[in-house]
């Protein structure tokens, strides 16, 4: 029995809980809400964990799947199993897999919940699709070479999934993995001798280069942003720098300070600079031009008012694509405000 990692069950209606921060579908328990959530009108499965505990980290993806599967079961709280109406727990001593945990919760809670399939944002590589995905000259591809039995690979899995999710809206970025134990020829071809091995295959170097950075989410995100020219945070949202072009920002500064007659001359210079842009920056350049034109028509307050309007929209429930669109426009307008 690991000292840092225990699971208990309380009978009754069921809830998936953790005295920790795990996933959106796992209830996070604190001293303030423990007795409000546990020992009431539903049973509760609670994991007592420590952030530094390797076994806890290994359990995390299985526990998250369990929480997702039971989130609609109002009689269950996923967190140590405490029976309904009781603060006397029943210790869980079974295997630490989502299937075994689900069977236990179903038996104790009188339920028949099936394990939910959790969609993955990680591209799964095989011998058949490796070249098409990894060697695509239009894509920057991060590849994890892993083995199913590798403990370090299992520990990395939840973080790697978050990395993939953060960049799923970037059509030129792929976060992928390959079972190197199954596809040994590919692993040998790229010099893989230990697990997990991470290699980056940028557009300009399909021979691949070793990833030697940190293994935290922020480390991966910073690396991909630097290598691919993207501007995402760990949640997949665009940062405040997304869409901004340094050369255009300098011209916009002149544009804002210029008088009415001088603005037209500066605007012409902005047009000339936009013509030089290529790729995604060319698209951003068009937003700069449109903003400059509108500022000349609607006056100096346009940018400030439009930024406030976009911020209100961003605070609503909108699609990721719309959030990106509004964030890019807001970032660029900031140079005019």
Q: Which residues form the catalytic set?
A: 53, 56, 150, 153
Q: Rounded distance, CA 186 to CA 250, Å?
A: 48
Helix ranges (H only) for 71-199 are: 98-109, 130-134, 151-166, 184-189
Contact predicate 63/55, CB 8 Å: no
Q: Rounded distance, CA 103 to CA 105, Å?
A: 6
**Ramachandran assignment for 89, one of left (phi > 0), alpha (psi -120 to 50 degrees), beta (any other):** beta
Of 14, 82, 103, 26, which Cα lies nearest the Cα of 59?
A: 26
- DSSP letter for each residue of 237-286: -B-TTTT--HHHHHHHHHHHHS-HHHHHHHHHHHHHHHHH--THHHHHHH
Q: Rounded distance, CA 24 to CA 3, Å?
A: 26
Of 16, 10, 13, which Cα lies nearest the Cα of 59?
A: 16
Contact predicate 203/137, CB 8 Å: yes
**Joined tokens for residue 175:** 């976060």
Q: Rounded distance, CA 313 to CA 315, Å?
A: 5
């Amino acid at each position: 029995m690991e000292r840092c990692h225990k699971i208990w069950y309380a009978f009754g209606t069921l809830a998936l809980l953790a005295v920790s921060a795990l996933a959106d579908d796992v209830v996070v328990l604190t001293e303030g809400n423990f007795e409000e959530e546990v020992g009431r009108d539903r049973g509760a499965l609670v994991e007592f964990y420590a952030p530094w505990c390797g076994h806890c980290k290994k359990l995390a993806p299985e526990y998250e799947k369990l929480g997702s599967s039971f989130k609609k079961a109002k009689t269950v709280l996923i967190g140590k199993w405490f029976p309904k109406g009781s603060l006397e727990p029943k210790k869980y001593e079974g295997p630490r897999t989502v299937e075994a945990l689900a069977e236990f919760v179903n038996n104790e809670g009188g339920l028949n919940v099936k394990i939910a399939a959790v969609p993955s944002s990680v591209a799964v590589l095989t011998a058949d699709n490796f070249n098409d995905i990894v060697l695509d000259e239009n894509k920057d591809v991060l590849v994890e070479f892993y083995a199913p039995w590798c403990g370090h690979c299992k520990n990395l899995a939840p973080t790697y999934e978050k990395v993939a999710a953060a960049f799923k809206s970037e059509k030129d970025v792929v976060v992928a993995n390959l079972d190197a134990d199954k596809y040994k020829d590919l692993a040998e071809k790229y010099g893989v001798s230990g697990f997990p091995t991470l290699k980056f295959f940028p557009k300009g170097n399909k021979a691949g280069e070793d990833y030697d950075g940190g293994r935290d989410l922020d480390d991966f995100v910073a690396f991909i942003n630097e290598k691919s020219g993207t501007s995402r945070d760990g949640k997949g949202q665009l940062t405040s720098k997304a869409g901004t072009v340094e050369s255009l920002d300098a011209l916009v500064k002149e544009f804002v300070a210029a008088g009415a007659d001088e603005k037209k001359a500066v605007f012409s210079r902005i047009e000339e600079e936009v013509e030089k842009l290529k790729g995604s920056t060319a698209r951003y350049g068009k937003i700069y031009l449109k903003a400059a034109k509108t500022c000349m028509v609607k006056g100096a307050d346009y940018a400030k008012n439009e930024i406030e309007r976009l911020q209100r929209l961003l605070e609503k429930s909108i699609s990721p694509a719309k959030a990106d669109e509004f964030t890019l426009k807001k970032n660029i307008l900031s140079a005019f405000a």
